[in-house]
Amino acid sequence: MKYLLMVTVAIAGVIFGDIAPRAAPQAGTDARARELIQTLHLTVLLKESGYLGIIGKSSQTVTVDGRALAVQSQNYYMLTRERPINYLHWLAPDDTHILIEGGPVDYFIFHPDGRAEKVTLGLDLAAGQRPVVAVPGGCWKALRLRDGASYALMANTLSPEFTPDRVKIGADPDWIKRYTNFAPWATPQALREFIGPNWMPE
């Protein structure tokens, strides 16, 4: 009887007391987003916003404009409720994003020929979402976490590798004029929001 009482007390302690095991944060929650940021050592990406974690780059190289660059570099990238927008920027390399967890995320892509398109990174294939979004080099783009989503963890590969001198962040009124109304969502107000704090006045 004494043994049974001890077992009962122990079980109660596990369920209700200080020795209760901590449940892992559920996918899709803010707690899970914080766990991923800590575990993957993600840090705030200045200017563009969101969270970045550098994975590495390939050992193979390619020559671009007389310069040896790694064929590919890889990162973790995350948007959260607190940082839901990846502000407008231009990249020289191809940039492929793969959804790992969370989402969906809307991608707004602005091509050099003046086209503007919206692609959604997500797992609801029936709704037209895709788990991979490939953005050609030489495009402008902005990302926005969908309302209701807590976070989106992605992996992105850049080919050739990312270098700081082959990126542009922000835009000016001429850029807004260029892309206004090239898609139903491409209003001057929306385009200005994509630029965010990186506005370049005339």
pLDDT in tens, 139-151: 999 999 999 999 9
Does residue 77 form part of some domain?
yes
Per-residue pLDDT tens digits for 76-119 = 999 999 999 999 999 999 999 999 999 999 999 999 999 999 99
Prediction pTM value: 0.86
The answer to whether residue 195 is domain-embedded is no
Contact predicate 61/68, CB 8 Å = yes
- Could you tell me which of 47, 26, 41, 56 has the C-alpha nearest to residue 151? 26
pLDDT at residue number 69: 98
Is 28 within a domain? yes
- CATH code, domain carrying 66: 2.60.120.10
CA-to-CA separations, 171 to 28, 43, 200, in angstroms, rounded? 33, 24, 6
Higher pLDDT, 193 or 4: 193
71 Cβ partners below 8 Å, 6+ apart?
58, 60, 61, 62, 159, 160, 161
> Is 92 within a domain?
yes
Residue 123 has which token pair?
């797992």
What are the b/e assignments for 75-106, b being 16+ CB within 10 Å? bbbbbbeebbbbbbbbbbbbbbbebbebbbbb
Domain that holds residue 74: 24-169
| 3, part of any domain | no
Asked if residue 96 lies in contact with residue 73, where contact means CB atoms within 8 angstroms, the answer is no
Question: Across 10-150, where does the E strand assignment appear?
Answer: 43-44, 51-57, 61-64, 67-70, 73-80, 85-91, 94-102, 105-110, 116-121, 132-135, 140-145
Whether residue 69 lies inside any domain: the answer is: yes
Q: Does residue 200 lie within any of the structural domains?
A: no
What is the number of structural domains in the chain?
Answer: 1
Report yes or no on 5 lying in a domain.
no
Strands 67-70 and 73-80: unpaired
Q: Which helix (H) or strand (E) holds 2?
A: helix 2-16
Give the bridge partners for 144, in sequence order: 85, 106
% residues pLDDT > 90 (the chain): 85
**SS3 for 136?**
coil
How would you classify residue 99: left for phi > 0, otherwise alpha for psi between -120 and 50, otherwise beta? beta
d(C-alpha 141, C-alpha 121), whole Å: 13
* Average per-residue pLDDT for the chain: 91
